[in-house]
Amino acid sequence: MKEKVILAYSGGLDTTAIIPWLKENYDYDVVCVCINVGQGNELDGLEERAKLSGATKLYVENVVDEFVDDYVIPCVQANAVYENKYLLGTSMARPVIAKKLVEIARLESAVAICHGATGKGNDQVRFELGIKALAPDLKIIAPWRCNDTWKMQSREDEIQYCKEHGIDLPFSADNSYSRDRNLWHISHEGLELEDPAIEPNYDHLLVLSVSPQEAPNEGEYVTMTFENGIPISLNGEKMKASTIIEKLNELGGKHGIGIIDIVENRVVGMKSRGVYETPGGTILMEAHTQLEELILDRATLTVKKEMANKFADIVYEGKWFTPLREAVQAFIESTQQYVTGEVKFKLYKGNIIKAGTTSPYSLYSESLASFTTGELYDHHDAEGFINLFGLSLKVRAMKMAELSKNN
């Protein structure tokens, strides 16, 4: 019996061309594994395509709920955003994919895992750190880094290679955007986006959304409830988190929410430009933030913002299966004990507009915040506080004045 390799399989041209390449260069039986993290109709026809391409078996694993509950929700609770804009859509999905690839590798007694990520991107780092953390004994094959045997440099090359190996599938040779899609988002790279000086062609590019200009002229109100930092209902209807995101995607896409154009710093050292559509995720993150500001005290919120940036870096860099991620997530979860309540907002032409927030754990006190004198706050107390709070400033100013006078 031949040894087996697990191929992270999407059904696209790249991973289809990898199947005969693996058989030719490694003499492996190729077991294709497609991980369903909510990429929709991209999964259609995969089984027939994989077998026509020479795979011995295909697994299609639906992990949408695991992806949302175990990877997305912790990022929402953290308010994790990379470089102020990117909501980590691709980054969050890679560790659950790596985990499932390892599980099936064990099930099939495979000796290697192969992925189709390029040698310039972040995904090679994320996949391989996940595999190394969970299965350090498995060999990892990255064809795009195998310069001696992977000679294909274009879609035309890959189509020709497939035809030479008896695979004649209806792939297009046109140079379209490079996209990654899951339930949380869709990313776009390539074509005009490679030049930061050029405006994105949104009419041609958008998949989940319309542009804010094309959104309805009437706003739409949305109400969400959270329990311990986890969304549990939308517009009064209880549902699981993955369904909430699915429905928020429809609402957000309709109103042009969550379209960002960013030049980000990749893990491998280069800058890259991409456009991300995250309609439902943007709404969910904003709603959670809106609730937290009512509940968390100042000191906790300050440290949590620092941990949010740290968590975002950890996820972006593919370090999910690390003690650091576990430790930071433990802190974040401890802050979510009382993040329970209802958030209302209006969606309008790319904007999420607050329309009221309530929580049984709100630290907001109307009597304290109002300009009238309440029982808990005596205006005269502020004088002593300011004297002590500003004491170091005053002492320094006095010293500088004394030195200036002496000189």
Please indicate if the annotation marks 78 as binding a ligand. no
Q: Which pLDDT value is given to residue 44?
A: 83
Under a CB-based contact definition with an 8 Å cutoff, are residues 122 and 318 in contact?
yes
Please indicate if the annotation marks 9 as binding a ligand. yes
Position of tokens 């005596």? Answer: 378
Please indicate if the annotation marks 178 as binding a ligand. yes
Position of tokens 């969400």? Answer: 224
CA angle 161, 166, 169 (to 5 degrees): 80
Classify residue 124 as exposed, middle or buried by CB count within 10 Å of its CB (0-12, 13-18, 19+): buried
Please indicate if the annotation marks 137 as binding a ligand. no
Domains in the chain with CATH codes: 4-64+87-175 (3.40.50.620), 179-296+339-358 (3.90.1260.10), 374-398 (no CATH)
Under a CB-based contact definition with an 8 Å cutoff, are residues 298 and 306 in contact?
no
Please indicate if the annotation marks 13 as binding a ligand. yes
**DSSP-derived secondary structure letter, 42:** G
Q: Which pLDDT value is given to residue 264?
A: 97
Please indicate if the annotation marks 272 as binding a ligand. no
Please indicate if the annotation marks 11 as binding a ligand. yes
- Using CA atoms in the order 139, 140, 143, 149, what is the torsion angle rounded to 10 degrees? -20
Under a CB-based contact definition with an 8 Å cutoff, are residues 185 and 276 in contact?
yes
* pTM recorded for the entire structure: 0.94
Q: Which pLDDT value is given to residue 373?
A: 59
Contacting residues for 88 by C-beta, under 8 A, at least 6 apart: 75, 80, 81, 82, 312, 315, 316
Q: Which pLDDT value is given to residue 372?
A: 65
Position of tokens 């990313």? Answer: 187
Please indicate if the annotation marks 91 as binding a ligand. yes
Position of tokens 């007694």? Answer: 109
Please indicate if the annotation marks 16 as binding a ligand. yes
Beta strands in 258-340 (DSSP E): 259-265, 271-277
Chunked mean pLDDT (size 10), the chain, 407 residues: 96 94 96 96 86 95 98 98 97 98 98 96 97 98 96 92 91 85 97 96 96 97 98 98 98 98 97 98 98 97 98 98 98 98 98 98 83 73 94 96 93
Q: Which pLDDT value is given to residue 371?
A: 65
Catalytic sites, residue numbers: 14, 94, 123, 178
